[in-house]
Amino acid sequence: MMRSGYIGSSESLSSRALRLCFARSGQAPVRSNEVEGPPRKLTSVPRLRAFGASLGMTMPLALTVTIAFAQPAGEIPGFEGNAGWINSAPLTPAQLRGKIVLVDFWEYTCINCLRTLPYLRTWYARYHKYGFVIVGVQTPEFGFSGERQNVVAATKRLGVTWPVVLDPYYAIWNRYRNDVWPHEFLFAPDGRLVHDVEGEGEYQDTESTIQRLLRAQRPHLTLPPVMALLPQDSYDKPGAVCYPRTPEILLEHETPYRDTGAGYQDGSIYLRGAWRRTSQAEISNGARDSMLLRYHAIQVMVVMKPEYNLPIRVGVTQNGKPVARVDAGSDIRYDARGNSYIDVNAPRSYAVIMNAHYSPQIDLRLSPDSAGLGIYDFAFESCEVPGSR
């Protein structure tokens, strides 16, 4: 899901800034200790479909692609086969005719999707009153992220106020011939697909296209300047650099090792205690359990769930010590003794680490205080943009 690069690279980082998640089926597990090589230009986008799995890949270019829908040109593909709507009554292509529609395939645990939300919130606030509509298609990566109550809670927490349609059976995903999160399809008022972006990026191009469509309907409409890129996305800024990082780790594809206190390898999972394995996660069985991961990156996001619907406090250390405050992710808290921890009280992605400086080797340990902590995924980021923190 993340991008990687090399210290001091003279290549424009914006030219290889796209990040996305691929869905896959029948693929051999990606070995998490295979560190990425140099970014390389891809000549095609694989079409790999599956329910409940994703593959993080480094993409060198923000991709604008053309999709051939299995229906008449000039008609927005429908949303049949869904499991309900949030923030809206059900919408149909006929109801959306005459409006500018952005169909956004997203997943509320996916870090790449989360990074697009500030732009979507701004566009919706600016242009909804002029007939611009966003339809978020929540197609789940994990079993729990397809459950309505969890998606409702996520939309409230993340400030998603536009219509969201639940797609737990991948009916809409397949109708749109989609393969990735996030994926944005922009349709003109007559139903034509006019802009199509896979993954992060192309925010200013997308907003410019929205404005062009609005002005075609209302030539005298006064619109604000296109939103400036957030500091974290300003990869052309002097001093911006991407370091190598550990590839994403989906626990469903990992075979953890027993933690003996030595011999750790980058990108491998080591367990102490009696963890229980499910099809998608490792579940803690008691207060003496812990999970260790050796990694190299700046940012670490972890998808976790309290499996018994009871809050769980998870101790967090780096290299055997409490996480330094300058290295703490936004979900880290500290007790009176200075110990770092996270309260896992909902199934979501938690911002665990945001290191002040890149390091090629760090040991991260998670230690739940009770049974029932589900750990599903580790995602990493290693790009630094001056002034983005």
pLDDT tens for 92-121 read 999 999 999 999 999 999 989 999 999 999
Stated as kind and residue range, the H or E segment containing 94 is helix 93-96
Structural domains of the chain, with CATH: 13-233 (3.40.30.10), 243-384 (2.60.120.260)
| Phi, psi (deg, nearest 5) at residue 361 | -155, 115
Q: Which two tokens stand for residue 204?
A: 């200013």
CA distance 187 to 195: 7
Instruction: Please count the CA atoms within 13 angstroms of the CA of 103 that sit on its side-chain side.
Output: 29
- What is the predicted pLDDT for the residue at 57? 34
The pLDDT value given to residue 385:
74
What pLDDT does residue 40 have?
23
Question: What's the pLDDT score for residue 22?
Answer: 54
Instruction: Give the whole-angstrom CA distance, residue 283 versus residue 297.
Output: 25
pLDDT of 157: 97
Element spanning 340, H or E: strand 340-344
What's the pLDDT at 69?
56
> What pLDDT, on a 0 to 100 scale, did the predictor assign at position 21?
63
Amino acid at 378: F
Handedness of CA 28, 32, 35, 41 (dihedral sign): positive
pLDDT of 20: 61
Instruction: Let me know: does 46 contact 268? Beta carbons within 8 Å.
Output: no
pLDDT per position in the chain (389 positions), as tens?
Answer: 332 222 233 223 333 334 566 553 333 222 222 223 322 222 222 222 222 333 333 332 344 444 555 555 678 999 999 999 999 999 999 999 999 999 999 999 998 999 999 999 999 999 999 999 999 999 999 999 999 999 999 999 999 999 999 999 999 999 999 999 999 999 999 999 999 999 988 999 999 999 999 999 999 999 999 999 887 676 666 677 889 999 999 999 999 999 999 999 999 999 999 999 999 999 999 989 999 999 999 999 999 999 999 999 999 999 999 999 999 999 999 999 999 999 999 999 999 999 999 999 999 999 999 999 999 999 999 888 776 66
Instruction: Give me the pLDDT at residue 36, please.
Output: 32
* Cα-based distances in Å from 191 to 47, 84, 250, 265, 330: 24, 23, 37, 51, 41
Instruction: Please give the Cα distance from 226 to 59 (Å, whole number).
Output: 25
Paired strand residues for 86 = 164
Beta bridge partners of 341: 315, 333
- Is residue 314 within 8 Å of residue 372, measured between CB atoms? no
Token reading at 139: 């197609």
Residue 87 CA to residue 97 CA, distance in Å, equals 19
DSSP assignment of 115-156: HHHHHHHHHHHHHGGGTEEEEEEE--SSSGGGSHHHHHHHHH
Query: Would you state the pLDDT for residue 4?
Result: 28
Q: How much is the pLDDT for 240?
A: 76
DSSP assignment of 184-197: EEEE-TTS-EEEEE
This prediction's pTM: 0.81
Side chain identity, residue 2? M
The type of residue at 95 is Q
